[in-house]
Amino acid sequence: MSDGGIESKFLMSIDISFEPPVVATPGLVVINVTGGSFEGPQLKGDMIGPGGDWARVQDNGNWKIDARLAMRTDDGETIYCYYGGVVRMTEELAARSAAGEVLTDADMYLRSAPNFETSSEKYGWLNDIMAVGKMTRFGAGQLNYQVYEIL
């Protein structure tokens, strides 16, 4: 994939299961990640606890993501993933999501910038890449991302 001189390649799909968001304060939404999986050409595995998102609600209603996830590959290696991002959230989208509707990237803008840390020699290359994530589905306790490495 190339766009305006920036090249990327598919890194992985991430599927996250979560509990209903908790409004901790008027400016903070906490989302507990309960499970999930990831899979790409060079790695695959499952989300393991703990994990979650501490999203800050902006004055305009949009969210600033602050997510942290623990991942275990199918060959037993552990990867820490943390990322910031943006969700363009409107009252209508929040109501649709709260009603259990599944939103797609055509409905809502949700982008992230995942970072990875691991002590695994096999997956150590993740420590030194830049990645971006694009939401494909959000709602009914599920979040699906497509993640790309920026080349």
Kindly state the greatest CA–CA separation across the chain.
46
CB under 8 Å to 65, separation ≥6 — which residues? 53, 55, 83, 84, 85, 86, 87, 112
- If phi over 0 gives left and psi between -120 and 50 gives alpha, with beta otherwise, what is residue 140? left
* Correct CATH for 2-150 of 2.40.30.10, 2.40.160.20, 3.40.50.261, 3.30.110.40: 2.40.160.20
* Lookup: tokens for 117: 């840390």
pLDDT of residue 85: 97
Task: Give me the sign of the Cα torsion angle 44, 19, 93, 82.
Answer: negative
Q: 115 φ, ψ to 5°? A: -120, 150
pLDDT in tens, 20-61: 888 888 899 999 999 999 999 999 999 998 999 999 999 998
pLDDT of residue 88: 93
pLDDT of residue 1: 52
Q: Are 13 and 147 in contact (CB under 8 A)?
A: yes
CA dist 71 and 58 (Å) reads 29
pTM above 0.85, yes or no: yes
Spans in the chain with pLDDT lower than 50: none
Buried b vs exposed e over 1-21: b needs ≥16 C-beta within 10 Å? eeeeeeebeebbbbbbebeeb
Q: What are the residue boundaries of the structural domains of the chain, listed by start?
A: 2-150
Task: Give me the sign of the Cα torsion angle 77, 64, 12, 105.
Answer: positive
pLDDT of residue 47: 97
